[in-house]
Chain A
Amino acid sequence: MYGLGILKGMWVTLTHFIDSYVEDIKWLGRNRYFSKEGIQHRRSKDTKGIFTVQYPEEKLPVPEEFRFVPFLIYDVDADGNKQDRCTSCGICAKVCPPQCIWIVRTEDPVTKRPVPEPVDFFIDVDICMNCGYCAEYCPFDAIKMDHDYEMASFDRHAEHIFNKEKLSKPAGYYAGIRPTNFNREETLKAEEAAKKAAAAAAKAAAAAAKPADAAAGNPPATPAQ
């Protein structure tokens, strides 16, 4: 029948419309709007009806891997001194596709040799394409992608070349936004350190055991793992 197709179509629209209110009723007492669960539900497979998120009052939580403009990480040592993780090795600047990273290296004033710590570090955030390569390839876990995407400003010339000061954030911040990544890296680092310590200990033990063993004619002891 002519017009049936249109009616069927309008039926779909009508169900969507009704669903919006049915959902609201189902959620009575719980917060469908402006709450974590509500937002989570609206982006789940069960969502029905209206699914709009009222930005900026409501914000979608970003997943851990979400990447937006990089930042630099510093550790704080026992005396409260900031220690840059960056060694100005230059890999991030070399791999950055739009070439928006500039690194000013430090030189030892006496020997004129490069010191593994950047004097300054710039990223032109207007050019950064948020590809995440710098974070992916940095061998020292010194640069990571941020989650903070609200950084519009009025004057791009004054604001949008970020320097080292503006880019630097403590390791704790990183641990906060990317807990899984942080833990994985820390475990790896700990393992590495343990391995190194074990190797050093074994070496020392072997060195100590050698003269005695050689004298007794014993085979060298296998170091404990």
Chain B
Amino acid sequence: MTEATTTAAPVEKHELETRFPDAVKAEARPGYTGFLVETSKLTEVATALRDEMGYDYLSSVTAVDYYSDAPNAENFIEVVYHFYKSTGGGALEIKVQTPRENSTVPSLTPLYPGADFQEREAYDLYGVNFEGHPDQRRILMWEGFAGYPMRKDWKEAYFEEEVKPFKNRWPEGQVYRIEDRNPFNKNNKYPQGFDPVGFKETDDPKLYEVLERAAREYSEDIDTEQVVVNLGPQHPSTHGVFRMAVRLDGETIVALKPVMGYLHRNHEKIGERNTWTMNMPFTDRLDYLSSMSNNFGYALAVEKLMGDKAAPPERAEYLRVIMAELTRISNHLWAVGFLLNDLGAFFTPSLYAIQERELILDIFEATTGSRMMCNYFRFGGVARDLPEGIYGKIKDLVFERLPRKIDELDIYLSENELVRSRSEGVGVITPEEAIAFSTAGPVLRASGVPYDIRRADPYSIYDRFKFEVTVRQHGDVYDRYMIRLDEMRQSLDILKQAITDLPGGAAGGEVMNGKNPYQVRVPAGESYGRVEGPKGELGYYIVSNGKGNPARYHVRAPSFINLTVLEKMCVGQKVADVVVNLGSIDIVLGEVDR
């Protein structure tokens, strides 16, 4: 190759641009980052990203509707991808644009199987057709649903106004319940030819078709009868309202399809009607067992756009870390306790775990006002300082009680022969699979991938603390249990440092940068804020158009995406293992369904 004289190159071009000069354009919109990719070249670009540049982890896929009813305005749907290297580092963001009519984008599932559910979600909510997707069905809405609810021109059942605050509350002050005025029955839409009365479960053809397909692939020449069994949706072991349609060959799982969405509230649609501030308490309700971490991710995403004027003071940063780590411990306690519940040990282990969790919740309640729906973070700090006595209480718990209690759980369970025989070698996921399926958090690390956002792409003040990214090597249920114990101990380490270093200590100090306004101004642009939540990477992708409400508000929910790997975990195993496999992923349906 001849060497070109590279004098005074104005801006250094990214590898991707030099590699695909025609297909890739650097983002030019103000406040945006990443690259725009030609739709037709997407697969090629993604292949190069994965195989040549090391971006092997596709963390988030979502769509944004750029819609305007102004004449001659540009209308399109944009699909946004966030790639990472599993060895650490920042994001590489690419986008493809497709017209709103007949939106079509090539599917990345053959390259990144972890895109499966996320593409289905984009299809379900935005109507983007992913060419080559093996199983494109609705995922959160049911098959009888008409329209694509996340599109900007779609109006929900109790539609009042485009965005909040609603005028009929103030200044008009008319008192009525919206549902009284708007009887639901008269406002429901069905697809053409759909008969809601005659609809039967067996008419769920697409789901059973996929199960059927898997079955034939598995045992063409063995002459056994296969049956389809529905596990859930309402059963304690499904952790809420989650259904698994499985196809069984005897007692062996041949195929499994998760069916979710029974709890779907269209969190994101509500989020786009809300003002920026209003979304904070809604994030609490996503994963209601770890509301502080949810607050954290959203605060980061918005603060990224707001810049320096929303940089939290030191004490607030420490408080955030303290709260997030306490949340991790309480979440893992719950997860470990309930894993045993799934094994059939109703209810003693969970009670031991819950007891400690209650003590942590006492701290949350005294500080934030609520045990579970904390609503504690604000843009530029936290809502209030620690009240009197709570500093000491955290200290007592972290230095004295919790280490002892975690050890006790360890003694109680880890060597228990029943636990071990039910979980060792069950639901094995190799490191390659774990990465390819975009799993995150304990599921990923139990498979031997030392990927923890607190280290790989540090946020807040995590780079100041000494702690280890723990890994386990087998990738089975037992390791996913053990990794949670390990992580709780690491969290305690972080907490010990954070409490000792907390500026102001027990006395208190500044916890908010400037005033805490009820309306914030967020400059136009996009941002993706992610944290290592207890369940894995919790990310918020937000787009602002400079107005008082987010133009796009998307949650990359770890529970939801970790479920992509569930089928892989279960196929070839027994029915009884399904439940514990599911338990080892640790899902919360509020977050899966949103």
| A residues neighboring B (CB under 8 Å) | 2-6, 8-9, 11-13, 16, 43, 45, 47, 51, 62-67, 90-91, 93-97, 99, 101-105, 120, 122, 124, 129-133, 136-137, 145, 161, 180
Contact = CB atoms under 8 A, between A and B. Distances in A.
A67 B384 CA distance: 13
A6, A130, A132, most chain B CB atoms within 10 A = A132
B281 A133 contact: yes
A97 B387 contact: no
A130 B370 contact: yes
B464 interface: no
A151 B12 CA distance: 64
Given A65-B367, A102-B169, A97 B413 contact: no
A157 to B, nearest CB: 8
B421 to A, nearest CB: 10
B131 interface: no
B501 interface: no
B359 to A, nearest CB: 7
B274 A66 contact: no
Nearest to B390: A63
A8 B397 CA distance: 25
Contacts of B69: none
A66 B173 contact: no
B412 A12 contact: yes
B466 interface: no
Contacts of A105: 171, 173
Contacts of B348: 13
A133 B518 contact: yes
Given A94-B518, A103-B170, A129-B281, A8 B373 contact: no
B408 A12 contact: yes
B118 interface: no
A145 B375 CA distance: 14
A119 B221 CA distance: 79
A145 B416 CA distance: 47
Interface in B403-454: 408, 411-420
Contacts of A12: 352, 408, 411-412
B164 interface: yes
Given A99-B166, A102-B170, A67 B358 contact: no
Interface residues of B, number: 57
A47 B404 CA distance: 13
A8 B415 contact: yes
Nearest to A10: B412
22 contacts: A5-B416, A5-B420, A6-B418, A9-B411, A11-B411, A16-B352, A47-B355, A51-B355, A64-B366, A65-B365, A66-B365, A66-B370, A97-B279, A99-B169, A103-B170, A120-B173, A122-B175, A124-B177, A130-B370, A131-B281, A132-B375, A136-B516
B237 interface: no
Contacts of A47: 355
Given A65-B366, A103-B173, A180-B387, A3 B417 contact: yes
Given A66-B369, A67-B369, A131-B281, A93 B518 contact: no
B228 interface: no
B517 to A, nearest CB: 8
Nearest to A129: B281
A2 B418 CA distance: 10
Given A13-B348, A94-B518, A97-B274, A130 B417 contact: no
B27 interface: no
B369 A137 contact: no
Contacts of A90: 170-171
Given A51-B355, A63-B387, A124-B177, A97 B281 contact: yes
Contacts of A51: 355, 358
Contact of A67 (B173, B370, B397, B419): B370
B518 A95 contact: yes
Contact of B173 (A13, A102, A129): A102
B415 A95 contact: no
B170 A9 contact: no
Contacts of A103: 169-171, 173
B171 A9 contact: no
A125 to B, nearest CB: 12
Nearest to A16: B352
Contacts of A180: 387-388
Nearest to A134: B518
Given A65-B384, A103-B169, A8 B400 contact: no
B92 interface: no
A11, A102, A105, most chain B CB atoms within 10 A = A102
B401 interface: yes
Interface in B168-191: 168-171, 173-175, 177
A2, A13, A97, A122, most chain B CB atoms within 10 A = A97
Contacts of B373: 129-131
A8 B411 contact: yes
Interface string B328-370: 0000000000000000000010001001001100100111111
Nearest to A97: B278
B575 interface: no
A83 B285 CA distance: 37
B383 A101 contact: no
B129 interface: no
A167 to B, nearest CB: 13
